[in-house]
Amino acid sequence: MSGIHLQHLHPPFELAKGKTLSRFLHYLPGPCVFHIPGKNRSQCRIIVTLLHGNEPSGLKALHRLLNEDFIPEVETKFIIASVAAAKTEPLFSHRMLPGQADLNRCFGKDIKDLQHQLAQAIEAQIRGFSPQAVVDMHNTSGSGPAFCVSTQATEQHLALASHFSHRMILTPIRLGAIMEQELGGPIITVEAGGAQDEVADRVAYNGLISFLSAKDVFVSKQHVEQLKMPRRVELSEGCDIAYADVPLADKAVTLHKDIEKYNFGETPEGTALGWINNNNLNALSLDGDANLLTRWFRVERNQLMTKCPLKLFMITTNADIAKSDCLFYVVED
Ligand SMILES: [Zn+2]
């Protein structure tokens, strides 16, 4: 049993009504569950958001829905996770608090620290609701279009994704994320777009209206393109990275400052992505699979080039995130 308890919030939600977003955030008591009554009380849909404190689109959508007295089709629970990280100044700038583990890498693990206990409490709470469907709402760190992520591509998962985006990434990678867990109903992760982008807030809000208003949530809203089996390009141990227009002598890897422009687009064979000081691929690793790395990339006169047509996504230009998470995801185009 987890030692962390989620706070429960019920109507009339005075903490949100007529309040600014930052006021609303400050009134949140910590990790909590909003219980929003639906027209049909026999089913339940769940939204988990703010697993990362710097990804506000889901919370902004909740704030707006509460202010509009939105009535969902079925019982709706919003689980708000990393409240303390989000509240830490500057607001919505901390993925997690310094020194803590990334909450969305803590699911499904039997570890006793606070972040893992919070993950366990959220998981247990979701299972307790016996949800029809679960949506885990995020933002990407860089700018870019919305997409969904799932570990399964059943009709149900694709239909859930179709409320939010026409793209779904099907990933076999296991990191300890909530979407990898067995929760009693299908779960997808939604990446609404960049945390700073207004369009991401609209995607989150409109998608949630669609998801929560649907009589049958598993009726598809649009065709969803699947991107299968992406790999993560990571920095090797001890290597540093920067983003610039010229190679930096003191960094193992320098990527072009505008590398985000390749997000979900086509990256043809022979595209120069940046520079590698040592003139080989040792500074990079690809989910530990060196064979794919050398099939997809080469280094020529210190330039990092694509060796075949690729599709890159979730590209970051934040060196800290590149170092602690990954540079980007990639599939063969
Ligand atoms: Zn996130």
Domain match, 199 and 289 both: no
Domain match, 16 and 116 both: yes
Domain match, 272 and 187 both: no
The reply to whether 262 falls in a domain is yes
Write down the pTM of the prediction: 0.87
Domain match, 78 and 154 both: yes
Domain match, 220 and 86 both: yes
Cβ neighbours of residue 178 closer than 8 Å, sequence gap 6 or more: 48, 51, 104, 107, 119, 122, 123, 136, 187, 189
- Cα–ligand 1 centroid distance for 42 (angstroms): 30
- Cα–ligand 1 centroid distance for 10 (angstroms): 26
Range of the domain at 286: 231-332
The reply to whether 1 falls in a domain is no
Tens digit of each residue's pLDDT, the chain (333 residues): 457 899 999 999 999 999 999 999 999 999 999 999 999 999 999 999 999 999 999 999 999 999 999 999 999 999 999 999 999 999 999 999 999 999 999 999 998 899 999 999 999 999 999 999 999 999 987 788 899 999 999 999 999 999 999 999 998 878 899 999 999 999 999 999 999 999 999 999 999 999 999 999 999 999 999 999 899 999 999 999 999 999 999 999 999 999 999 999 999 999 999 999 999 999 999 986 778 999 999 999 999 999 999 999 989 999 998 998 899 999 988
- Cα–ligand 1 centroid distance for 281 (angstroms): 28
**CA-to-CA distance for 142 and 263, rounded, in angstroms?**
9
Domain match, 180 and 34 both: yes
- Cα–ligand 1 centroid distance for 72 (angstroms): 25
Q: How far is CA 264 from the centre of its chain?
A: 16
Domain match, 159 and 300 both: no
